[in-house]
Amino acid sequence: MTDSTVKKVSERSSPAGAMGQTYLVSGNRVAMRLWRDEQPHDKESARRDYETVGYVISGRAELTLEGQVIRLGPGDSWLVPAQSEHRYRIIEPFTAVEATAPPAQVHGRDEP
């Protein structure tokens, strides 16, 4: 029996979210999203119901996670555990891919 859940998602036809993210492929337990060329700015502190892992493609940012400042640059990856207080500060145009578990966009989890 063939697995009918196999998906391919093209960034060009993927929907965009309210925070500027592009939703990529999503399964029942994990989803991916792309943040492309985010311009320098500070985001508000948040706690989310999902875990996030990410990988920096280009640019620089600072992640403040439970009071600890983590500098992110090309080639770095990071983890934000579910329910952790965190905040991003984009320092220079930033492109990264994130995976969230459970999927961030389901049931309004991804809303600012």
8 Å CB contact between 43 and 89 = yes
Distance, in Å, from the CA atom of 72 to the CA atom of 87, rounded to the nearest integer, reads: 13
List the one residue out of 42, 31, 36 whose CA is nearest residue 100.
Answer: 31
Full-model pTM: 0.86
**Residue extents of the structural domains in the chain:** 16-61+79-85
Q: What is the pLDDT of residues 75-98, one digit of tens each?
A: 999 999 999 999 999 999 999 999
Q: What is the chain's pLDDT, residue by residue, as a tens digit (112 residues)? A: 566 666 778 888 888 888 889 988 888 899 999 999 999 999 999 999 999 999 999 999 999 999 999 999 999 999 999 999 999 999 999 999 999 999 987 656 666 5
The tokens describing 77, both together, are 């990856």
DSSP class of residue 17 equals: P
Confidence at residue 19, expressed as pLDDT on a 0 to 100 scale: 86
